[in-house]
Structure formats: structure tokens, C-alpha cells
Amino acid sequence: MLNAFSLATALFARSSVRAMASLSTAAAPTGRVAVVGGGVTGLAAAKSLINQQVPCTLIDMGGRGVGGRVSSRVLELEGGQGPLSFDAGAQFFTAATPEFQRELAGWAAAGAAREWSGRHGRIAAGGDFELGQPGSSGGFFDAGSGQAMWVGTPTNGALMQHMAQELLAAAAQKQQQQQQQGQWQDTSRQQAAPLFELLSGVAVQSMERTGGGGCGGSGGRWALRGSRQGRAAAAAPAPPPGDQEDLGCYDAVILADAMPLLPGSAGHVAGIDAAASSLAQLARSVQAVAPQPCFALMVAFAQSLPGVPFDSATVEQPTTDCTSSSGSDGGSSSGNGGSGSSAFQWVACNSSKPGRPGGSSPQCWVALTTPQRAQHLLRAHPLIGPGGRFNPQTGEYRAAVAAELLADFRAFMQPFVQGALPEPVHVSAQRWGRAFVTEPLGAELLFLPAQRLALCSDVAAGGGVEAAWRSGRAAGETVGRMLRSA
């Protein structure tokens, strides 16, 4: 995929609310960076910039806080039965590189992450569960291979909040260092240039490259506009840029997600590809990547399911089953991992993860669909609505999907449960339109220095929490070095 991108203009480098925006630094020799996307990638990019004392604004459209696809749901049932805890997005993560291992060690020391020890393995195409063995491979993100599996505590989403708090702590430390060094002399400029700013629930809808007097300065800068309605703004056509809210001007932009370059997506940003031919080429390269969709089913039972031999399981598909999301209608002919195609590629007891509610709380399960099953569901419950606009996940939408997937889950789990599968006390679903990138562009980030724009995340570096973190960190380091040397 890299051959499709212009090497002449790109450098491939390998290498909880707006109230949090009050930490400032003295007039910095660098410009300000907008980081668009508050998932693992965006948080890692922002931390890298702060460590270099490069001011940045992290803009995230989610209304529930940062995290992106590292997403969790905590619910209370009526009658005091609960709480329920589901990791609806990323299920776990591993640490293979020394850099990420050091980061993970800090999270673990802070109590934000713990190892998930349990009965991890795979359900073979014939329907039998096999406990994972050290050195085995091919599981869901290598689950059950003997490599330590880690989760955030008390939820994976809580780990993302911890990362945001780390950003605040790092910014405060830099602020204190500059105070001690006597670098703060111009109070007005200090207040105008916060070192770190988080805009949560804010959707960037358009970007324009400006120069001359516009947006200040003689060099080209990026003017960002959008809506403070966050993800809800994606359901309606965006107003003209002149009617959008001013989100500020920036000397560089880091796109920590591919959605800004994808028309029809919830996070599409107009104007990027029109700014330069190199950006148009970047957009075409990103649009050529075909991510796999996924739905997450979240189910809770009043009591633990008796007899189930696993805490998590990768579900093998029959060898005759199509592996391409475009080659099958995704229908679940049996749903139970036996003959025919299963609806799920991963099933886990979320309650078995450390830090989750235990005791008398309901037992919570998460099942992730195969790409084929997701494509089948999307035919009836499309991602893109009339006019090419993003189709939001309303309560009615989620309920319809959950009802279909619950039938699949019943058929899948019944062979492993002693007695009849009980009625659940909670059922819900979550759609992930761009869940897994199987053929990324092949670099930790794509960087266009002339345009002062970097793209990172899974579309560049591949899936998984570690890859996302490394991609964001590399983007922050690269953009920070550029601005500091300008």
C-alpha cells in the first residue's frame, strides 16, 4: 500500500472535559499542535508532545470521555442488581517491545492495569474448547499463546482516563519546572498558550490551510472548525465552514484516527484533501484500506453460567469458510462453533478480568462477531444511511442488532453450559464500523512535513493497543522535533 503514496512528499517514520485546559507554559519557541482523536494513539501523541514542551490540544468527539475503541460500559440494573461491567471495544493487550513494557510497568504500578490470568484458549472448528499452550499462535490477537494478557482496571476505559490524568500530571510538572527556572515573564502570553488542552465531546468538521494574516503568522497554519455536539453532529449534514464553531488555529495537526479522511464516517473532516495534492493522495491511500467491521454483544446473567470451561476463547472458523469479509453473507448456519460458520470470533467472560465486579453481581459476557457476520448485520442495519451520511446507533438500532446476536449467542454457548442457558438480565450491542485493519499501510506514521500533518493509528501501524501507542508516540516525537527545529 505504501507504493500508492507519494514518497516525495511524505516521510514514513518508524521509530475529562474542557476544564482540564488550564495548565499553561511560558511563550514557547514552538507552535501549537492539534491532535484529532482521543484514543490510545491520540493520548500517546499528546504525551510525547508535552514531554517535549510542545503545546497541544487534544480534540475528541466522544461524549463519554477519551478512549476511542478502548471502550467500556458500566451499568446499574433496576432493583439494585449490579453493577454490570463490559469492555465493549479492545478486550486486552500485550506488551512485546521494551518501550511499551516500560509504559505498562508504570500503569501497573499505579494500579491502572493488571494481568488477566485465566483459562484462555480456542474453540476448534469441531466445537471443542482447547486450553492455550505457551508458544501457540493464531488466536485473537495471540490470546492463549502464553504471552501475558493485560487489561485496564477497573475497566479498560478507566485505563484511558488514567492516561489522560498522566497528561495533566506531565503538563503540571513542565509548568513547575519552568516556574523554577524563571522562564515565566510574560503573563499575557502564558495565559494564551496552555501547554495542554482537552476538548471532549467536540467534533472537527472542517480544516483549512491558511497563511498570511489569516489565523496569524506568515507561515501556513491549520484553521479547525466544528461542533461541540460531538458524535451527535455526524448524524446531520455539516453546515458550511463559516457557520461552524471556531476551534482554533494550529501550526501542525496529528490525525490520530483515519476517520477524518473517510467521507461518510462519523469523524469525517472536510477540506483536508483539498489543501494539497499530497493530502489528496494520502486520503486516497487511506480510503483504499478495507477495515473489517465488528459488532460487540454484551450479555449479563444473574448467576454464573455453570460448566463453562473457559474465561476467553478464540473461535476457529471452518477451513471451508470464507476469510474475506466480501466473500460470505455472514449468516450463522449453526452459531455454536460446530458445523457451519460461527457468528463470533471471540467470546469472553468479562467478569473474569481483574478489578471487575464480583460476588453477587451478575456475570457479564462479551462476544465479538466475525467480519462475515458483521457484514450480514450491516445489510439490514447499515453503517451509512441515505445520502452517504453516517447512520447513528440509536437505541432502536442497538436493540435490533442485540436481538439477532442474542440468538447466535444462545446457540453458541448452549453446548458449554450445564442445563439450559438462563434468560439474561441485560442484553446490548455496540457497532464498530472500522474495528480491524488487516492490511495497514505499513509504517508507524505517515508524515507530510510540507503540510505539517501526520497520520497515525491502526490504518498506518496495524491493530492492537501496543501498535496504537507506538504509532501515536512516534507521531508526537516527529511533529515535536519538526516544530522545535523550525
pLDDT surpassing 60 at residue 74 = yes
Residues 107 and 190 in one domain: no
Contacts of 181 (CB under 8 A, 6+ apart): none
How far is CA 464 from its chain centroid? 9
- pLDDT greater than 70 at residue 212: no
Residue 30's pLDDT is 61
The string of pLDDT tens digits covering residues 282-303 is 999 999 998 899 999 999 999 9
Contact between residue 291 and residue 72 where contact means Cβ atoms under 8 Å apart: no
State whether 299 and 431 are in the same domain. yes
Task: Tell me the residue length of the chain.
Answer: 486
Q: Same structural domain for residues 322 and 396?
A: yes
Are residues 166 and 266 located together in one domain of the fold? Answer: yes
3-state secondary structure of 484: helix
The answer to whether 116 touches 150, Cβ cutoff 8 Å, is yes
Residue 80 belongs to some domain of the structure: no
H or E element that contains 405: helix 395-413
Say which residue, 376 or 236, is predicted with more confidence: 376
255 against 211, higher pLDDT: 255
> What pLDDT, on the 0 to 100 scale, is given for residue 391?
86
Q: Is residue 163 part of a domain?
A: yes
Joined together, the cell numbers standing for residue 266 give 462519523
Domain match, 345 and 418 both: yes
The SS3 assignment for 51 reads helix
Instruction: Tell me if residue 144 falls in helix, strand or coil.
Output: coil
The model's pLDDT over 123-157, given as tens digits with 9 standing for 90+, comes to 998 899 999 988 777 789 988 888 899 999 999 99
Kindly state whether residue 321 falls inside one of the protein's structural domains.
yes
Residue 101: CB atoms within 10 A of its CB come to: 12
Question: Mean pLDDT score of the chain, rounded to an integer?
Answer: 85
- Does 342 have pLDDT greater than 60? yes
* pLDDT above 70: residue 364: yes
Euclidean distance between the first and the last CA atom of the chain, given in angstroms as a whole number:
31
For residues 56 and 49, give the distance between their C-alpha atoms in angstroms, rounded to a whole number.
7
Peptide bond preceding 386: is omega within 30 degrees of 0, i.e. cis? no
Q: Classify residue 77: in a domain, yes or no.
A: no
Alpha helices in 72-210 (DSSP H): 98-109, 156-180, 187-192
Among 432, 441, 419, residue whose Cα is nearest residue 346: 432
Check whether 35 has a pLDDT greater than 90. Answer: yes
pLDDT the model gives residue 341: 63
How would residue 476 be classed by pLDDT, with cut points 50, 70 and 90?
Answer: very high
* Residue written as grid cell 460458520: 341
Mean pLDDT to the nearest integer, 362-382: 96
395 vs 6 pLDDT, higher one: 395
Q: Is the model's pLDDT at 6 over the cut of 50? A: no
pLDDT at 184 over 80: no
What's the whole-number mean pLDDT along residues 62-68?
84
Least confident window among 6-10, 52-56, 228-232, 441-445: 6-10
Q: Which stretch of 10-19, 123-132, 217-226, 438-447 has the lowest confidence by average pLDDT?
A: 10-19
Q: What is the CATH number of the domain that holds 98?
A: 3.90.660.10
C-alpha pair distances (Å), 466 with each of 116, 364, 470: 16, 26, 6
Q: Which residues pair with 312 in a beta bridge?
A: 120, 348
Mean pLDDT confidence for 235-250: 90
The lowest-confidence range among 104-118, 196-210, 377-391 is 377-391
- pLDDT average, residue stretch 229-256: 90
On whether both 142 and 175 belong to a single domain, the answer is: no
d(CA 309, CA 181): 60
Place of cell 468479562: 350
Single-letter amino acid, residue 438: T
Q: Is the per-residue pLDDT at 327 higher than 80?
A: no
Question: What pTM was estimated for this model as a whole?
Answer: 0.88
Sheet holding 312-315, edge to edge: 129-131, 120-123, 312-315, 344-349, 363-369, 292-301, 426-436
Region 424-448 average pLDDT: 94
Q: Where are the beta strands (DSSP E) in 270-342?
A: 292-301, 312-315
- Residue 237 in contact with residue 215, Cβ under 8 Å? no
Report yes or no on 344 lying in a domain.
yes
Residue with cell 478464540: 314
Nearest to 378 by CA among 359, 350, 351, 397: 397
CATH code of the domain covering residue 447: 3.50.50.60
Nearest of 320, 313, 311, 306 to residue 336 by alpha carbon: 313
Asked if the structure places residue 83 within a domain, the reply is no
Of residues 305 and 213, which shows the higher confidence score? 305
Q: Is the pLDDT of residue 453 over 90?
A: yes
Per-residue pLDDT, averaged over 234-263, amounts to 92
Residue 250's pLDDT is 97
Number of domains observed in the structure of the chain: 2
Are 254 and 296 members of one domain?
no
426 in helix, strand or coil?
A: strand
Q: Are residue 188 and residue 269 in the same domain, yes or no?
A: yes
Residue 211 has a pLDDT of 73
d(CA 285, CA 287): 5
- Tell me: do 313 and 416 sit in the same domain: yes
**Looking at this protein, which amino acid is placed at residue 48?**
S
pLDDT of residue 219: 55
In DSSP terms, 113 is beta-bridged to: 152
What is the domain range of residue 466? 2-67+159-289+438-485
* SS3 assignment, position 335: coil
Q: Are residues 46 and 126 in the same domain?
A: no
Residues 365 and 411 in one domain: yes
In the predicted structure, residue 406 carries a pLDDT above the cut 60: yes
pLDDT value of residue 470: 97
For residues 456-460, give the mean pLDDT.
94
Task: Give yes or no: residues 41 and 17 share one domain.
Answer: yes
> What's the grid cell of residue 206?
472542517
pLDDT tens-digit readout, 170-183: 887 887 777 677 65
Establish if 361 belongs to a structural domain. Answer: yes
In a domain, 47, yes or no: yes
